[in-house]
Structures are given as C-alpha cells and as structure tokens.
Structure 1
C-alpha cells in the first residue's frame, strides 16, 4: 500500500527572492505556484512569516494569504505560521476573521509560539523593551481563540462566526504537548528539525485529548523536498537552498543564490559540513528516489498529511518539482505536467 497516494499533499511557500529576481517577482511566483498546485490537486498552500530576511518576501502572511486566496478557488490557504508572540492576539483575530469571511471554509490559521527571528527584529515588531519570552504563549493562544469563540469581552469583528481552521505549529516537544492537550491538529517542522520529529509526534499522540474540533490526533509533517528528472539534477538545483542555510547559520542571510553561484561558492571546511548536513536532511532526487524516501518518512511518522517546501532558485525547476511529486503521488499525468510548466514559464 502507498501512503504517499493516500495522504493529502500540501505546500509551504516563503516567496523566495533570488540574486536574479526581486520581491515583486517572488510574490508573483508565489501566486503562480499556488494556482499550479491547485490544478495538481494539492490540499493547502501555507505562507511562512519571516522578518529581516533578504531572501524571503513572505513577511506579511495575512496580506499574502488574501492575495493567494483571491487567485485560487478550491485551495485552502493559510499561515505556516503566524508567530503569535510578534502580534497582539486581537489583531490576528481581526485579520483572520476577515480572511475567513471573504473566503469561507478556505482559510487556515497556523500558529507558532516562537518569534522566529533575531532579538533586535523581535523587539522592533513588539515595540517593547521588555524581556522576549514565549512563556505567556498559552495565555495568548487562549485570548486569540476567545475572540473567535465570543468568550473575550472585546468584540473582534468579524472574527466571531468566521473562525479559520486552527493548527499549532512546532519543532519541539513543548508545542506537541500543547497541541495534544488542546485537541488541535499539529504541524511539525521536519524540514528544519528532523531529529525531533518522531519524539514530538509521539508526545503529541500521547497527550492528545479529544476536543470539539478533533476526535483523534491529526499530524501534519512538513518536509523539504526537491524532485528533478535525475538524482544529479536534483542535487544541482538543491545547492542554493543549502547555501542559504549555511549563510543563515553564520548570521549572514542573503537572497537565494543561483545554481552556478552556489556551485562556485568558496566553502570553508566547516561550511561544507553544514552544507552536506543540510542536503542530508532533505528529500532530494529523481522521482524514484523521492518516492522511496517519502514512503519511508510517512511510514515512520504515520503522518495524516504531508506538506512540502521546495527551495530552488529557478521558478521552472520549482514548478517541475511539484509536477513530478504530483505524478508519483498519483495526482497528475506526465503529459499534463509538462504542458503546465511550459505554459506558466512562458507567461
């Protein structure tokens, strides 16, 4: 039995800016990718929240979600996620209540508990000199859901009656336990915390309590996946994403390099180790290689849904990767896929 053919497939996108493009192009590519994967039968399209990152244009998920939802018709669109410590819960409730009212039944609110950025940027977002702590996250989350449920004293129009589907995001056991206790679906960031995936999912299922929302645990696993026609081609186009990780780890974030720039970069010995480790934690290869690795991941995690993020420099390579993934998952045919890539790249 193929788990890959049975579970829903979804997408996490960052609106990536490259050295050969700009933010406007990145946002246009995000819209095109959403339309593309909708035609391929994907379930969700989530936008991440990142700040002070030259290579990421997805800094305002709520605005970008509305744009993508307007450009699609059946795809669920959401945040992957909104970093709640960065925002007043009232504002998040108003934003996502508005989105849900405009796009009924299609909006997801993925919530993270960490700032997801450096301390200086976090302070600029919060406009406070107080200590940066996630200890008050449960209270913030309770306040947020209260605006949708009508249990808070303030009225967050139009949140009440327009509640999105709420997911708790995480890369650790803490978030897993909170999601379980609250009976929320849990989205785990396997793409940057693969060593914690199985322990966190075990904690989530162990601590899960049935809720009005869920009778049983629902685990979504997000993996970094790059598919190309050959293993060699896949590794080649994976280079810029791995270099981006090297730069991020050293405190030097930058726009995504081109394939050739990544190949020509003068890696130090330590940087090369970080590069190779990053490659090893991703699912990269030909359709045959990727299919086998994803089947193993789904078997190990018992995930109810697979979300994929694909960081490559060329828009055509990204579209092609999702086409090939859809094919091995039984979502499309090769002839349909190649024609779609050709058409969208030409446009």
Structure 2
C-alpha cells in the first residue's frame, strides 16, 4: 500500500453450520483472491487440531492452493506450531512451497500445540526437543543442512521465518532470535504496546533481518452499520461458548442462531471480554480506535482476523479495513 499501515490477513478457516470443511477451505482461497485486490500484503493460515469448527490443521497444505490462486500475496503460516512437528518435516514442506513460489512464502512459528492434550500427544517430534533446539535445527536446513541431513528440495529463496506469540516472553524470545514478531492481540486483547516495546528492546540483528519488524494480529469486523457488525462478530463468540460448554465437537452457529440466543450473565461477560478489546463496528467507529491502537503499539504491520458466517460480509469487512488502514 502506498500510504497508511501495511495490512495482512490471518485466517482460521471457520466452519459454519450448513457448510462442509471443503466449503470453508474453498472460501479461504476465494477470500485470498479478493484481499489481494484490496492491497493486502500477506495471507496466513493458522494451525488447530481436533477442532471441527476450524479447518486449519495443516497450514502448509492450504498455503499451496492460496499461492496458486494469487500472484502478489506472500502466503504462509500463522503459525506452524513447532512442538507438533519434526523440524525436518516442516523444512521439507516449506521447501516445496518456496521452490514453487520463490519469495512469496512465510514460515510463522508458534510455541503452543493448538489443540487438546490428547491430540498433542499424537503429534510432534518423538525426540521432544525444546522450541529453541527445534528452531535452530529448522534454520539449519535452510542454511546448507543440519548435522549432515539436507531438507529437499532446497529453495533458492528460503521462506522468511517469524515468531507469533501473545506474551512479553514470546516477544523477547523473537527479539533475541532476530525474527519478525506478531503479537496475537486477537487472542489476548491487552498488552500489545508492552510486548512490542519489549521486542524492540530485545532485538538483535541477524543476516536478512537488520531491524525489528513488529506486528499485531487483531480481530476486525467492519460493516456499514454497527448493529450488523456486532451481529456478525457475536456468532463466532457464541460458537466459542458452545465449544466450551455444550458442543465441544460442533461447528459454528449461524448469524440467525446467534441472534435468537439469549446470552446469560456469564456468557455476556465472556462476549464482552472477546469483543470489546477488538475492532467491531462501522468505519466511523473503528477508524479512530484503530488509529489510536496503531499509534500506541507503533506496529509496522497489522494482521486482520475476521471470523463471520456471511462470506460476502467477510469480504466486505476486509475491504473496509483496507480503506481504514490506508488513512492511518
């Protein structure tokens, strides 16, 4: 974008009632093509396991169709949860992507497992290395091999490494490793200014990353009316409540189901805790709030997560966010 803050997409591929996982995945590819036209820089997909409401178990697999369907977007993971994988397998997967689409592949990494303890026990490197050891091994495969083992194919332009987290500790970790960093405000709706400041203070330059690159991932649902924006955003939170209580293996409810639901006191508290720190409303309401947030965090880039049941409204929200970001 010529002006304003750089913007990118963070996608969890939500599955709504009445849709199949295939429907959700195809809509993500469709969304990527749309946001490319709006001037977005990156399209990242998350990693979740044993969660039918989120069809993002394999970021590397989904990144391939998104890359093939677009021309200018950098595509990657937000994030590959390294504890769930051997470093060699990740290097091979992203080596394939980077060989096919040189210069357009990001490898965002996270330290969590993204699922239940039962699923985590069935995933991962059987050697159970710590994150730092896995990261060192992973980097080694893109730097000529690791302990005599080469990850094939070896792309001419390796993927760009990132760290994604939601704490000051993760920010410091990224800074000391010389990695670009994304703070997950979408998960923890507080602490972004402190985390990004800690990241910048801890940053150590490395080849290919001479200066810090501090980013924030936020939830944004923007619509022409405040009321519709909240109706759309509430559906995902309603789904989170159901997954935590009565339907842990279900998909997400429709906008109409949520509109008919009466949120009890505890549910209202949870709803407000998820919505209020984020950016939900009309452009007139969101623009000043987002401007203040960007100024407070001094973010270099904004990752936008929009989880709503109406696909056209989702595309429209990303279009409106792009216009707001261009004015900041």
Match of 2:273 in 1: 277
Deviations 1:54-74 (A, max 9, x none): 111111111100010001111
Query: Aligned with 1:329: secondary structure?
Result: helix
- Residues 102-251 of structure 1 correspond to what in structure 2 (within 5 A)? 102-126=100-124, 136-152=130-146, 153-159=148-154, 161-250=156-245
**In 2, distance between residues paired with 1:299 and 1:34?**
27
Preserved contact between residue 99 and residue 155 of structure 2 (Cα < 8 Å): no
How far does residue 30 in structure 1 lie from its aligned partner after superposition? 0.3
Preserved contact between residue 220 and residue 307 of structure 1 (Cα < 8 Å): yes
Query: Aligned with 1:149: secondary structure?
Result: coil
Preserved contact between residue 84 and residue 124 of structure 2 (Cα < 8 Å): yes
Preserved contact between residue 184 and residue 213 of structure 1 (Cα < 8 Å): no
- Residues 232-311 of structure 1 correspond to what in structure 2 (within 5 A)? 232-250=227-245, 252=248, 254-311=250-307
Preserved contact between residue 148 and residue 161 of structure 1 (Cα < 8 Å): no
Tell me the TM-score normalized by structure 2.
Answer: 0.94
**In 1, distance between residues paired with 2:318 and 2:214?**
22
**In 1, distance between residues paired with 2:206 and 2:67?**
28
How far does residue 247 in structure 1 lie from its aligned partner after superposition? 3.1
How far does residue 5 in structure 1 lie from its aligned partner after superposition? 4.2
**In 2, distance between residues paired with 1:312 and 1:4?**
28
Q: Rate the CA distance shift 1:210–1:127 in 2: closer, same or farther, 3 A.
A: closer
Residues 1:326 and 2:322 are matched in the alignment: yes
Preserved contact between residue 149 and residue 161 of structure 1 (Cα < 8 Å): no
How far does residue 24 in structure 1 lie from its aligned partner after superposition? 1.0
Q: Rate the CA distance shift 1:239–1:209 in 2: closer, same or farther, 3 A.
A: same
Deviations 1:57-103 (A, max 9, x none): 11111110001000111111000010000000000000001100000
Q: Which moved more, 1:189-198 or 1:56-65?
A: 189-198
Deviations 1:298-334 (A, max 9, x none): 0010000011000101101101111212223349xxx
Query: Aligned with 2:240: secondary structure?
Result: helix
**In 1, distance between residues paired with 2:50 and 2:74?**
27
Please point out which of 81, 84, 103 is paired with 1:86: 84
**In 2, distance between residues paired with 1:299 and 1:265?**
37
How far does residue 151 in structure 1 lie from its aligned partner after superposition? 4.5
Q: Which moved more, 1:157-166 or 1:69-78?
A: 157-166
Cα-Cα RMSD: 2.0
Deviations 1:267-306 (A, max 9, x none): 3321221112111122001011111111111001000001
What 5-or-longer segments of structure 1 have no aligned partner?
332-347
Residues 1:49 and 2:47 are matched in the alignment: yes
Q: Which moved more, 1:3-12 or 1:138-147?
A: 3-12
**In 1, distance between residues paired with 2:195 and 2:290?**
19
How far does residue 266 in structure 1 lie from its aligned partner after superposition? 4.2
Tell me the TM-score normalized by structure 1.
Answer: 0.89
Match of 1:339 in 2: none
Match of 2:17 in 1: 19
Preserved contact between residue 12 and residue 45 of structure 1 (Cα < 8 Å): yes
